Amino acid sequence: MNPESPSAVAASRAPLTADALAGVVGPSRQLGRLDVVAASPSTNTALLAATSAAPDEWPGMSALLADHQTAGRGRAGRSWATPQGAALTVSFLLRPSVAADALGWAPLVVGLATVRALRDAGVGAYLKWPNDVVVEAGAKEIPGWGRWRKVVGILCEVVPGSVQSEAGPAVVAGIGINVSQSAGELPVPHAASLSTLGAASLDRVALMRSLTAHLTDAVAMWELDADLPRVHDAVEGVCASIGWDITVEQPGGESVAGRVTGLSASGALLVVTRDGEREVLAGDLRVRRA
């Protein structure tokens, strides 16, 4: 069946249920807990609140999945919404056994897992530092994006107070994957979906299973990799931003322009500017030449 055919799109938008995903939850399974809701304004907001209120009820590798997210949150307070059943919107609770100063790797580790899941679906995905997953698929250049198109947004947030907790830090990792949106349903010109990219399947259940498996593996590698060489190399290997000429708008308003040469030991972006190499910890990255 053609993934872009009306029947394939309609099948992909069938409501997600806990029963359909039961095989990934339980003792010795990949998820310690999975709550599936029909709709949620923001799975990150809901999971942060639930975890803060009852931390013992949410073990590591738990997830809250919404069949329809109505007011998703992105970086810098941006909001977004998708048509009913057209996206996979899920937030995972991670309790990684890592040092607090290694938490900056969270969006990159989550991005690595997401890239691998999309590649399983037949899409040539890459990571755009720090928290987008993109595909080079555009027929024309778009300012700030070039020919790259965003198919996934990631938002990682540390659960308040968890860094000082005896149980260690907890991170809520929200992932929003555009699945069956048509070109006309996408919110911005630089967006894409698995459907517009010609993915082999638009099955959200299969995608959730694949994403969960890859995230489990990526977090395990992160925990076992004391000095992070394996994580560093794995993330750099899927990071499209390396080699780009970019401008990064940092929090506070400072702008850094130059060529990306790699990632630092902390997961920061290494940028060679006119004044030498800079380490960029956070910011909005715009492509000047890719």
User: Which CATH number is 253's domain given?
Assistant: 2.30.30.100
Question: Are residues 84 and 59 part of one domain?
Answer: yes
Question: Are residues 208 and 157 part of one domain?
Answer: yes
Contact between 24 and 34 under an 8 Å Cβ cutoff? The reply is yes
Question: Are residues 275 and 233 part of one domain?
Answer: no
Question: Are residues 47 and 160 part of one domain?
Answer: yes
Residues 6+ apart with CB under 8 A from 124: 135, 136, 137
In-domain check, residue 256: yes
Question: Are residues 35 and 107 part of one domain?
Answer: yes
User: Which CATH number is 114's domain given?
Assistant: 3.30.930.10
Block means of pLDDT (10 residues each) for the chain, 290 residues, are 68 90 81 94 95 92 93 58 89 93 93 97 96 92 95 94 79 97 92 95 95 96 84 96 95 91 94 95 90
Q: Which of 197, 219, 238 is the last residue of a domain?
A: 238
Residue ranges making up the domain that contains 266:
245-289
Q: What is the DSSP letter of 203?
A: -
Question: Are residues 269 and 215 part of one domain?
Answer: no
Query: What is this structure's pTM?
Result: 0.93
Number of domains in the chain: 2
Question: Are residues 51 and 176 part of one domain?
Answer: yes
β-pairing, 284-289 vs 276-280, is: unpaired
Q: Which of 238, 263, 281 is the last residue of a domain?
A: 238
Q: Which helix (H) or strand (E) holds 88?
A: strand 87-94
Question: Are residues 280 and 157 part of one domain?
Answer: no
> What pLDDT sits at residue 73?
61
In-domain check, residue 158: yes
Cα 83 from chain centroid (whole Å): 19
In-domain check, residue 1: no
Contact between 182 and 14 under an 8 Å Cβ cutoff? The reply is no
Q: Which of 238, 256, 278 is the last residue of a domain?
A: 238
> What pLDDT sits at residue 74?
55
In-domain check, residue 40: yes
CB atoms within 10 A of CB 251: 11
Question: Are residues 262 and 166 part of one domain?
Answer: no
Question: Are residues 268 and 128 part of one domain?
Answer: no
Question: Are residues 249 and 234 part of one domain?
Answer: no
Question: Are residues 203 and 277 part of one domain?
Answer: no
> What pLDDT sits at residue 4?
62
